[in-house]
Amino acid sequence: MRPATMLPDTLLRTERLILRPPAEGDLGAMVTGLNDWDVARFLARVPFPYGDKDAASFLHAARRAAAEGTDLNLLVEKDSSVVGCLGLAAIGSENEFGYWIAKPHWGQGLATEAARAFLGHCFTALGLKEIRAGAFADNPASLRVQWKLGFETAGFGTRQSLARGRDVAHIDTMLSRRSFEDVNR
């Protein structure tokens, strides 16, 4: 059972990070992080270039979906700066997980740390049994993050990339609650 009123107020803490809902004051940091080709090209739903209107549209949609209990999006904050975002879309049906970390923060383990807390919350608080994810085939770093968390390859296909403007080879992954708990004890 997932009470919709719980989603907009979600706040999670890790050793180095705070995961919290996005706010108007975060729009500039989101634009800075996502208006980077090296980030945007690895995300399915992010256009490039990414501007103020895109960030405002995301914020509006994220708030509406959280209030409806269908999606959960949390910004990743480190040392009072927004460094990324995690999201779970179509809660209760597809349970699709996605994330990004701004390029200056790559290689520091932030994606794994944030995702471990976020996924643990999703399995526990939302009562989910499985979560889907994946990555474009040319993004092995994202796949390594997922494998560290217990995701397993579930299939291969293509997925539309807004930034690239075409379908791109995609590796689908799946994470069961049991696998997550086994790997992340």
Q: What is the pLDDT of residues 65-116, one digit of tens each?
A: 999 999 999 999 999 999 999 999 999 999 999 999 999 999 999 999 999 9
If phi > 0 it is left, if psi is from -120 to 50 it is alpha, else beta; for residue 51 that is beta
Domain 4-183 CATH superfamily:
Gcn5-related N-acetyltransferase (GNAT) (3.40.630.30)
Residue range 30-49: mean pLDDT, rounded: 98
- The span from the CA of 133 to the CA of 42, in Å, is 13
Q: Looking up tokens 């390594």, which residue turns up?
A: 144
In eight-state DSSP terms, residue 85 is: E
Residue boundaries of the structural domains of the chain: 4-183
pLDDT at 42 over 50: yes
Note the pTM of the prediction, 2 decimals.
0.94
Question: At 9, is the pLDDT very low, low, confident or very high (cuts 50, 70, 90)?
Answer: confident
Q: What are the tens digits of pLDDT across the range 134-143?
A: 999 999 999 9
The pLDDT value recorded for residue 8 is 67
Sequence-distant (6+) residues with CB within 8 A of 57 are none
| 143 within 8 A of 152, measured Cβ to Cβ | no
Q: Looking up tokens 């049994």, which residue turns up?
A: 129
